[in-house]
Amino acid sequence: MSTPVLSARSLATLLGDWRSAAPANEALADRVRLLVLDGRIPAGTRLPADRELAERLSVSRTTIAAAYARLRDRELVHSLRGSGSVVRPHGGTGIAPAATGAGVVDFSKAAPPALPWLPEIAREAVDELPAHLEGPGFDGIGLPRLRTALADRYTARGLPTNGDQIMVTLGAQHAIALLSRTLLARGDRALIEAPTYPHAYEALRLAGARLATVPTAAEDDDGFGRLDEGLALEQAVQQSNPALAYVMPDFQNPTGRTLDEEARARLTAAAARQGTVLIADETTAELNIDRPGGVPAPLAASGPAVLVGSVGKTVWGGVRVGWIRADVPLIRRLAQARPPGDLGTPILEQLMVARLLERYDEVLELRRAQLRASRDRLEAALAAAFPEWRVPHVHGGIATWIDLGAAVSSQLVLAARTRGVVVAAGPRFGIDGAFERRLRLPISATPDEIDAGVLALRDAWEALPGLPALEPELLGSVV
> How far apart are alpha carbons 17 and 12 in whole angstroms?
9
In the CATH scheme, what is the homologous superfamily, with its name and number, of domain 105-111+362-463?
A: Aspartate Aminotransferase, domain 1 (3.90.1150.10)
Q: Which pLDDT band, with edges at 50, 70 and 90, does 31 fall under?
A: confident
The answer to whether residue 457 scores a pLDDT higher than 50 is yes
3-state secondary structure of 77: strand
DSSP 8-state secondary structure symbol assigned to residue 479: -
**Closest C-alpha among 218, 236, 283 to residue 426:** 218
> How far apart are alpha carbons 253 and 397 in whole angstroms?
8
Across 212-229, average pLDDT: 69
Q: Which pLDDT band, with edges at 50, 70 and 90, does 257 fall under?
A: very high
Across 211-228, average pLDDT: 70
**241 beta partners:** none
| pLDDT tens sequence across 319-338 | 999 999 999 999 999 999 99
**Closest C-alpha among 251, 247, 281, 293 to residue 266:** 247
| Helix and strand numbers, DSSP H then E, in the chain | 15, 13
Instruction: Note the pLDDT of residue 220.
Output: 57
Q: Which residues contact 296 (CB under 8 A, 6 or more apart)?
A: 249, 250, 258, 259, 260, 261, 264, 302
Q: Highest mean pLDDT range out of 89-103, 259-273, 285-299, 425-439?
A: 259-273
> How far apart are alpha carbons 40 and 14 in whole angstroms?
8
> How far apart are alpha carbons 114 and 39 in whole angstroms?
25
Annotate 330-398 with DSSP letters as a single string.
HHHHHHHHSTTT-S---HHHHHHHHHHHHTHHHHHHHHHHHHHHHHHHHHHHHHHH-TTSB-----BSS
Q: Which range has the worst mean pLDDT, 49-53, 67-71, 94-98, 237-241? A: 94-98
- Which phi-psi region, left, alpha or beta, contains residue 23 (left: φ > 0; alpha: ψ -120 to 50)? beta
> How far apart are alpha carbons 414 and 459 in whole angstroms?
12
Q: Which pLDDT band, with edges at 50, 70 and 90, does 102 fall under?
A: low
> How far apart are alpha carbons 80 and 85 in whole angstroms?
7
Instruction: Note the pLDDT of residue 25.
Output: 87
Pairing of strands 322-325, 306-310: antiparallel
Tell me if 324 sits within 8 A of 166, measured CB to CB: yes
Q: Which pLDDT band, with edges at 50, 70 and 90, does 96 fall under?
A: very low
Q: What are phi and psi of 167, to 5 degrees?
A: -120, 130
Instruction: Note the pLDDT of residue 374.
Output: 97
| pLDDT tens sequence across 172-215 | 999 999 999 999 999 999 999 999 999 999 999 999 999 999 99
Pairing of strands 322-325, 166-169: antiparallel
Q: Which range has the worst mean pLDDT, 26-30, 226-230, 333-337? A: 226-230
| pLDDT tens sequence across 109-160 | 998 999 999 999 999 999 999 999 988 888 899 999 999 999 999 999 999 9
Architecture of domain 8-87: Orthogonal Bundle (1.10)
> How far apart are alpha carbons 414 and 423 in whole angstroms?
9
Cα angle 417, 201, 283; round to 5:
85
Instruction: Note the pLDDT of residue 228.
Output: 85
What radius of gyration, in Å, describes the C-alpha atoms of the chain?
23
Listed by start position, the domains of the chain span 8-87, 105-111+362-463, 117-358
DSSP 8-state secondary structure symbol assigned to residue 319: S
Please list, residue by residue across 21-30, b when 16 or more beta carbons sit within 10 angstroms of its beta carbon and e when fewer do.
bbebbebbbb
Tell me the fold of 117-358: Aspartate Aminotransferase; domain 2 (3.40.640)
Provide the residue type at 419 as one letter: R
3-state secondary structure of 64: helix
> How far apart are alpha carbons 399 and 254 in whole angstroms?
6
**Closest C-alpha among 157, 175, 127 to residue 357:** 157
Read off the pTM: 0.83
DSSP 8-state secondary structure symbol assigned to residue 212: E
> How far apart are alpha carbons 444 and 100 in whole angstroms?
19
Across 272-287, average pLDDT: 97
| pLDDT tens sequence across 283-298 | 999 999 998 887 789 9
